[in-house]
Structure formats: structure tokens, C-alpha cells
Amino acid sequence: MRSGLIVGHGSDVGRVRPLNEDYHRVWSFPVGRASLDLFAVADGMGGAAAGEVASKVAMEVLDESFRRYTDEINAGHTVVPVGSLVDKAIRLANRRVYALATSSERRRGMGTTLTCLAMLGGRGYLGHVGDSRAFMVRRDIIYQLTKDHSWVEEQIEKGVLTEEEAQEHEWRNLIPRALGTRQQVVPDLADFDVRPGDIYVLSTDGLHGLVEPEEILAELRATRDRQHVVEYLLARANERGGHDNITLVVVEVP
């Protein structure tokens, strides 16, 4: 990438699902002599091919929004801050997916998670809806940057369920907040300094539902090649059942 970031990424259908309804993308948009880098994962839902459509549309909207944004910058026009762009792009993706879901009986109820990370000028901009996740590794500690928008997570916060009960609960895959399931969505947003040595990890629940954060950290420590890290962790999730599609993006700041 123009920014010199070290990236590994991959996706696997897993061992149970007939289709891969996850989508992920890695972009680097030129901005003068620098670049606006963007990473995203999406986990579609809705059955048949509907989930695949939802996650793909989310990626297409991100591509369209960021491409237009950087074109405006390079043309010398005034633009909104990157954090506002992330917010607007996610809301637009929601409207596009919702329109498709309500225009066809076959696609009714479809939706997708979306977790994306943009980087420009030493700052990171995070946008998140659903139960995909973003992690940051800094000084050998792994932090979860996102909160799952899941029913069980809500119950944990209320003290109704414990972490252990949530892991086996029959409604653990119920996602109250996702793209396309309602006319409007409010994404979680954050921005922060990006420091040399940081490693950022984006994953769908097919990965982090079977591989603990500490295991991700251990593999990042043990293996310098970030693509090898991704391939190893995808294989580990498959070894443990691969009950869902599995997607992972790893980004290291040199």
C-alpha cells in the first residue's frame, strides 16, 4: 500500500454453510502524495443469496463513497472530516440494503454487519454496526474496539446473562442492530491516534466466535508474516468446527 502498511486478509466459507455471505475489502485511495486507507468486513444475513447481496452492497457503497471523497480532495474541493464520511457512508449503505430488502419478497429481512477502519494522517476512524469486531494490539496488549450489537450482549450489560451463559444461548446470533433491517441505523463511531507498531484486526464472528483474542495476539507475536497469521487463524477456526463463514483482516503500522 502507498502508506507502507503491512496487510494480511482472507475469507473462508467454513465447514457448514453452503455459501460465503461475508465480504471484505482492502482499499488505498491516493490523496496527493499520501493515501486514505480503508479496511472493512461485512457478514451478511437473511438466507439463500440475500445475505451475500447485503454484504456486497455495503462494500460497494463504501467504495463509491470513499472514491468520490478522495476525488473531491484531489480536485482541491472542501470536504467533511473523515469521521463524518464514515458515518455518512454507513448510513447510505443501510438505506441501499433496506431498499433492496423491501423491494423483493425473496430478500425481505436481509441485512449485514459492517465494521470498517479508515486511516489518514496518523488518525484512525472506526465505524461499526452488528457483531463483527475490530481489535487493536498496542504494546503487546489486545483491546476490543467495538461492542457487539447482539441480543446476548445487551443481556450481559443488564446483568441478565453471564459471559458463559451467553456463549451457549440459543439467541446468541440474534443481531438487533444491523444494516438493512430498519430504515435508519445509528453506527458506533470512534477516532484515535494511530501509532507506529499498532496492529488492527477486523473479523466476522465466524473467526472470533471460535478463536479468543489472546490466541490472535499470540499468533501475531509468533509469526511476522501477516498473511500467514490470517491463514493460520482461518484454519484454526475451521478446525474448531467452522460453523460460519470466517473473515479476517490484519493491518500493521510499521
For every residue of 62-118, DSSP letters joined together read HHHHHHHHHHHHHTT-----HHHHHHHHHHHHHHHHHHHHHH-GGGTT-EE-EEEEE
Angle of helix 82-103 versus helix 50-74 axis, rounded to 10: 150
What is the tens place of the pLDDT at every residue in 23-36?
999 999 999 999 99
| pLDDT the model gives residue 75 | 97
Question: Mind listing the pLDDT tens digit for each residue in 8-23?
Answer: 999 999 999 999 999 9
What number of residues does the chain have? Answer: 254
Tell me the pLDDT of the chain averaged across its residues. Answer: 91
Whether 146 maps to a domain, the answer reads: yes
CATH number for the domain spanning 165: value is 3.60.40.10
Q: Tell me the average pLDDT across 39-68.
A: 92
1 is a domain residue: no
Does residue 85 lie within any of the structural domains? yes
pLDDT at 72: 98
Amino acid 169: pLDDT: 43
Q: For helices 226-239 and 213-222, give the axis angle rounded to 10 degrees.
A: 140
The residue among 50, 43, 37 whose CA lies nearest residue 3 is 37
What value does the mean pLDDT take over residues 25-52?
91
pLDDT, mean of residues 121-146: 97
pTM: 0.92
Residue 188 has pLDDT above 50, yes or no: yes
The domain of 89 spans: 6-252
Average pLDDT over residues 204-224: 97
Residue 2 confidence (pLDDT) above 80: no
User: CA 15 to CA 10: how far, in whole Å?
Assistant: 16
Provide mean pLDDT across the span 57-79.
98
pLDDT, position 46: 80
Residue 104: pLDDT band (50, 70, 90) is: confident
Which residue carries 463463514 as its cell?
A: 245
The helix/strand/coil state of 168 is: helix
State the total domains in the chain.
Answer: 1
Distance CA 194, CA 119 (A): 8
Question: Is residue 95 domain-resident?
Answer: yes
CA distances to 128, 212, 243 from 207, in Å: 17, 9, 10
SS3 222: helix
- Per-residue pLDDT, 105: 82
Decide if 98 is inside a domain. Answer: yes
Residue type, 23: Y
Q: What is the mean pLDDT of residues 92-109?
A: 92
CB atoms within 10 A of CB 16: 11
Residue at 49 is within a domain: yes
For residue 29, being part of any structural domain is answered with yes
Q: Are 242 and 19 in contact (CB under 8 A)?
A: no
Q: What pLDDT, on a 0 to 100 scale, did the predictor assign at position 74?
A: 97
| Grid coordinates given for 12 | 473462508
Q: How many Cβ atoms sit within 10 Å of the Cβ of residue 192?
A: 12
Task: Please compute the mean of the pLDDT values over residues 134-161 and round it to a whole number.
Answer: 79
